[in-house]
Amino acid sequence: MNRCGIRKIRGARPLSIITALFCFPFQGVNLYWGMVHTRKQEFGESTVYDVLRRLNFNWRALLLSLSAAVIRFFISLSNERRETVLIIDDSIVERPRSKKVELLARVRDHCTGKYLRGFRFLNLAWSDGASTAPVDFALLSSSKPENRYQGVTTEVDKRSYGYLRRKEAIKQVTELLEPMVKRALRAGIQARYLLMDSWFGFPAIITKLSGHLHVICMLKRMKTVFYTYQGRKMTLTTLHRVVKKRPGKARILASVLVTIAPEQIVKIVFVRDRRKKDWLALLSTDIDLADTEIVHIYGKRWDIEVFFKMSKKYLHLEKGVQLRNFDGLIAHTAIALMRYLFLSYRQRCETDDRTLGELFRAGCNEARDISLLEALQRILTLVADALRRIDLSSDQFIQQLIDDIMRIILLK
């Protein structure tokens, strides 16, 4: 917190305040019930709001540094060949009844096609298929002034983080993708691939991001996006029509190498859509990757959908506070993501035996040192003891039985 500029200025320590806010969902209360109604804390409501509204507190840097530490712990438990990925996706944080929230805007939901009142929540997460960690985020208003219900309502020093946050909030989503990936890589977060949904599957974005990581994304059927195949420019639908398909009911219909930019060759894999009689297309900038591996790795993108659901429904991402200040919303969002990071860490500790450290390794070594013959001898000894207890056979018969079994095994 100190490295991120979150320091005590007066009154209560920021660590005590953030700890209290962090614990509210696990106690079944929101900010109002935890601070105003019960009044069990050693500090008041105004102190909490003062910390959340600070312009010079870099909340996103705090989340990034915590995520980097937890991800290093996850990687230490994984095999080096395991595919680790970064996932980019966005969702809508609704504020349907708000009117005076700073930079509140009319934003479009890609899934439903409807316009909602709130913010676009752009998130970058890390996953290894077993654990998910939120890495970075941005709350976005609309780049068009006519779609904003409120503008900037706070006087902000242009040297502060608050000014940079407000400036970023009115940018296009596509302008923020590369800076988020670069920040994550600079923080030491290791990943092999970058996964994206079809909303970001444009050639210009793919080419830019592939300079940092190999990209695997879903493709959307658009009439204005073309792929060069055998010297001809084609839309995705035309490309699917001309490519030779595999016979039968194969899940992977076909794969083909195409060009999306000068000297940018990618692989497109066509797969069968299980939900309906149709097809889907996946793009990979790693052309040496097998078709089945591309499909397998892209399946990890679903982890971020689970993250969105969990954060909104259980960790008070949308309804935890009723703040109007934009800095307060950023602080609240960062704390909500830290809650998910904590749950992801605890889940891994509870389910992965490798978190036992040296005790797990000692157990593995013990199991590896026991030979087949020694293990078989132990089993036969237990069988002999059981036969003696039920008085079915004499000691001479039992010994003869064991000798015969061992002789047969040694001969083989």
* Contact call for residues 195 and 87 (beta carbons, < 8 A): yes
- Overall average pLDDT of the 41-69 stretch: 90
* Contact call for residues 265 and 287 (beta carbons, < 8 A): yes
What are the sequence ranges of the domains in the chain?
53-356, 370-411
Q: What is the pLDDT of residues 235-267, one digit of tens each?
A: 999 999 999 988 878 889 999 999 998 889 999
Q: What is the pLDDT of residues 103-133, one digit of tens each?
A: 999 998 888 888 999 999 999 999 999 899 9
Locate tokens 């971020």: which residue?
A: 304
Instruction: Determine the pLDDT at residue 183.
Output: 96
What's the CA gap between 84 and 70, in Å, rounded?
14
Kindly report the pTM of this predicted structure: 0.84
Q: What is the pLDDT of residues 339-377, one digit of tens each?
A: 999 999 999 988 877 666 655 555 555 545 556 666 677
Nearest 5°: phi and psi at 254?
A: -170, 165
Strands (E), 97-235: 105-108, 115-127, 132-140, 193-196, 214-218, 227-229, 232-234
Superfamily classification of domain 53-356: Transposase Inhibitor Protein From Tn5; Chain A, domain 1 (3.90.350.10)
Nearest 5°: phi and psi at 57?
A: -90, 120
**Given a cut of 90, is residue 208 above it in pLDDT?**
yes
What's the CA gap between 166 and 158, in Å, rounded?
10
Locate tokens 């703040």: which residue?
A: 323
**Given a cut of 90, is residue 46 above it in pLDDT?**
no
What's the CA gap between 172 and 369, in Å, rounded?
59
Average pLDDT, the chain: 87
Provide CB contacts within 8 A for 87, sequence distance 6+: 124, 125, 126, 127, 194, 195, 196, 300, 301, 303, 304
